[in-house]
């Protein structure tokens, strides 16, 4: 690849870890899809000298494109545009048309919020957002802050910090003549994503080693693998004329691991389950996951058509009162047991009048484990009102957060297996 890029994420709150960086990884994915090689992602605080140092570092490394995020607000520590202007040798000028646009946005915001503020004072505080480097292309605001594209060697794209503003603005930036010119020499790629569940990384590694000799042209595929939420994600990039090579690899993966491959088009298990729930209703009964499964179900658009509700029942008394779990069952088998998980699922079916239910009960740790039921022991039950169901126990590694999150993934896969035609 001949086009290289670097990302500068600004913000002391991001640098110190108080706020997680979501922009760097998201932009990295966008560049990957465009066929642009990402050389660096750097983090720095809201200090002019530190922002400038990152810009100079990337320029010295020979990148063609620099993308910055953050520092476009009206406050004193929002100084990215001024630093970029100085770095590119441009004067800062007031753009009257942009100033009018920002004023219109602020008037609407003040009216919507019922504020009775001195508008001239508000506008004075926000006027710095209408200062742009001379000759820069303006990216219209998504919030109140515009972005800019400054051409040169390298071209610099300045974007806001909030992801809800940055993401649509980046899509607009890519369409500008200035960015198109900067990335004109990129290699065009196609990309395929395969997702697997229940396969050890070592087994996938062995299959890929075999593919090196079994798939003609294998070296034309750029493959990355990632273990995420207990699933294996295999992302493959290739030039369009190598599509038959990728098709051969895909065939090999499906033949070797037919039971573990659940997605060949990039679809997430969450999306697949949402599709399978069309025309059905579901309820969850959760102990150790405390509503995390219901939250994943609710993240899908249109979930209100099938998600009836959830019972979070940590205490045994809650399991008995809200889910009609027989206390004798808990006394005999323990709260973390397949009989109790099964009873919780059936209780959820009854409580909500659903035709599908999932129950999770387990020991997420760090305490509470025993020799017979160590930390990481989780019992699952998926049931339908017509009598179909499955109840299983899994032992998972990791810390509390890992166990709870992975439990939701296992529950979704059990649901998929129950509901697929």
pLDDT of residue 110: 73
Distance CA(21)–CA(9), nearest Å, equals: 8
Q: In what order do the strands lie in the sheet with 222-228?
A: 222-228, 231-238, 190-197, 261-263
pLDDT score at 125: 61
For each of the domains in the chain, give its residue range(s) and CATH number, in order of start.
Answer: 4-183 (3.40.980.10), 190-266 (3.30.70.2860), 270-419 (3.90.950.20)
**Tell me, what's the pLDDT at 31?**
93
The token duo for 160 is: 């806001």
Angstrom distances, CA of residue 283 to CA of 149, 310, 340, 349? 49, 6, 16, 7
**Cβ neighbour number for residue 300 with a 10 Å cutoff:** 16
Residue 222, CB-side half-sphere exposure with 13 Å CA sphere: 12
Whole-angstrom CA distances from 181 to 67, 150, 272 are 15, 12, 39
Q: Is 138 exposed, middle or buried (0-12, 13-18, 19+ CB in 10 A)?
A: middle
* Beta-ladder partners of 287: none
Pairing of strands 4-10, 190-197: unpaired
Cα–Cα distance measured from residue 334 to residue 360, given in angstroms and rounded to the nearest whole number: 14
Identify the DSSP state of 277: T
pLDDT tens across the length of the chain (421 residues): 579 999 999 999 999 999 999 999 999 999 988 889 999 999 999 999 999 999 999 999 999 999 999 999 887 788 999 999 999 999 999 998 888 888 888 788 777 776 666 656 666 666 788 899 999 999 999 988 899 999 999 999 999 999 999 999 999 999 999 999 999 988 888 999 999 999 999 999 999 999 999 999 999 999 999 998 889 999 999 999 999 999 999 999 999 999 999 999 999 999 999 999 999 999 999 999 999 999 999 999 999 999 999 999 999 999 999 999 999 999 999 999 999 999 999 999 999 999 999 999 999 999 999 999 999 999 999 999 999 999 999 999 999 999 999 999 999 999 999 999 8
* 3-state helix vs strand vs coil in the chain, percent to 5: 45, 25, 35
- The pLDDT value recorded for residue 124 is 67
Q: What is the distance between the alpha carbons of residues 293 and 297, in angstroms, rounded to a whole number?
A: 6
SS3 89: coil
Q: Where are the alpha helices (H) located in 215-315, listed in sequence order?
A: 243-256, 269-276, 292-298
The whole-number pLDDT of residue 128 equals 85
Q: Enumerate residues 6+ apart whose C-beta is below 8 A from 401.
A: none
pLDDT at 117: 60
Q: Tokens representing 113? A: 């919020």
| Dist CA 100 CA 109 (whole Å) | 14
Cα angle 392, 393, 395 (rounded to 5 degrees) comes to 150
What is the reported pLDDT for 119? 59
């Amino acid at each position: 690849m001949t086009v290289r890029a670097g990302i500068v994420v600004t913000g002391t709150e991001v640098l110190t870890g108080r706020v997680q960086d979501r922009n760097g990884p998201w932009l990295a994915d966008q560049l990957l899809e465009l066929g642009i090689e990402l050389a660096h992602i750097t983090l720095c605080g809201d200090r002019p000298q530190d922002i400038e140092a990152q810009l100079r570092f990337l320029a010295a490394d020979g990148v063609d494109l620099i993308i910055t995020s953050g520092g476009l607000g009206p406050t004193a520590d929002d100084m990215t545009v001024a630093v970029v202007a100085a770095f590119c040798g441009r004067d800062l000028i007031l753009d009257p048309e942009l100033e009018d646009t920002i004023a219109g946005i602020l008037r609407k915001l003040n009216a919507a919020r019922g504020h009775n503020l001195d508008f001239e004072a508000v506008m004075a505080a926000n006027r710095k957002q209408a200062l742009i480097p001379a000759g820069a292309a303006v990216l219209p605001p998504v919030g109140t802050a515009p972005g800019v594209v400054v051409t040169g060697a390298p071209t610099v794209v300045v974007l806001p910090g909030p992801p809800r503003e940055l993401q649509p603005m980046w899509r607009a930036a890519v369409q500008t003549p200035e960015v198109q010119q900067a990335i004109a020499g990129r290699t065009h790629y196609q990309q395929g994503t395969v997702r697997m569940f229940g396969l050890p990384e070592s087994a996938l590694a062995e299959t890929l080693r075999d593919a090196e000799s079994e798939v003609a042209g294998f070296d034309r595929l750029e493959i990355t693998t990632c273990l995420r939420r207990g699933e294996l994600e295999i992302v493959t990039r290739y030039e369009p004329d190598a599509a038959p090579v990728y098709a051969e690899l895909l065939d090999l993966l499906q033949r070797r691991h037919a039971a573990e491959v659940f997605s060949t088009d990039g679809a997430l298990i969450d999306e697949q389950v949402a599709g399978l729930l069309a025309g059905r209703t579901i309820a969850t009964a959760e102990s150790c996951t405390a509503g995390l499964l219901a939250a994943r179900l609710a993240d899908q658009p249109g979930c209100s058509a099938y998600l009836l509700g959830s019972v979070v029942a940590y205490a045994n008394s809650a399991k008995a009162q809200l889910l009609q779990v027989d206390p004798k069952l808990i006394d005999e088998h323990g709260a973390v047991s397949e009989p109790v998980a099964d009873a919780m699922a059936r209780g959820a079916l009854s409580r909500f009048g659903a035709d599908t239910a999932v129950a999770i009960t387990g020991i997420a740790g760090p305490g509470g484990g025993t020799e017979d039921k160590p930390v990481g022991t989780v019992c699952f039950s998926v049931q339908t009102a017509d009598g179909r169901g499955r109840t299983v126990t899994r032992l998972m590694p990791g810390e509390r957060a890992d166990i709870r999150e992975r439990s939701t993934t296992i529950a979704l896969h059990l649901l998929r297996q129950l509901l697929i035609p």
